[in-house]
Structures are given as C-alpha cells and as structure tokens.
Amino acid sequence: MARLPADEDYARALLSIFQAKKIRARQSLRLSEAQAAFLRENMGRLADFDAALQYAMSRGWLALALDMIRLTTPGAEEMQSVGGFL
C-alpha cells in the first residue's frame, strides 16, 4: 500500500485515542477498541485506520501483538505533540 500524506494525520488521530484513554508507554489497548473509537469519532474509514496503524508501526510509535496495540516510548513522546482529536 502506498503511503499518503494523510496517513500521518490518521496515525496522529490514532495516538489521540491512546491519549484520551490516558494510556502510557508500554501499555496496550485492544485492537478492536482502538478501531471502534477511530470509527466512532469519525477519524476516518476502516482503510484509514489500517493505514494509520501501519504508519504508526513504521515510525515505531505503536507495536501490534495478537489483538493488542502497545504504545511505545517513542509513541508516547510523539503523543505529546498530538492535539486533541477527541
């Protein structure tokens, strides 16, 4: 899948979900919960969520294991620059 400039925006929106839930570095969120919040808050479509997750993982912000998304230390640092999307 080609990366689009909007992928970074979607990834930052995804980080804002972690921020709103007060998740810290090395803590996790269920994939389904993050996906539901992304769609419920009209941050994008399902394909946008997938692009956001891929982008965030490529930047080292998030890590996916089984059905859990873990916020990394670089992701927590990046999250500080994210404005409130929620």
Domain spanning 5-79: CATH 1.10.10.10: yes
If pLDDT is split at 50, 70 and 90, which confidence band does 81 have? Answer: confident
Give the residue-averaged pLDDT of 58-67: 96
Quick check: 63 pLDDT over 80?
Answer: yes
The pTM score is 0.88
Report the C-alpha gap between 75 and 70 in whole angstroms.
Answer: 9
Quick check: 4 pLDDT over 90?
Answer: no
Give the residue-averaged pLDDT of 65-83: 91
If pLDDT is split at 50, 70 and 90, which confidence band does 5 have? Answer: low
How does the average pLDDT of the chain come out, rounded? 91
DSSP letter assigned to residue 61: S
Q: Which secondary-structure segment (H or E) carries 16? A: helix 5-20
Query: Please, which residues have CB within 8 angstroms of residue 15's CB and are 6 or more apart in sequence?
Result: 56, 61, 62, 75, 78, 79, 82
Asked if residues 52 and 13 have their Cβ atoms less than 8 Å apart, the reply is yes
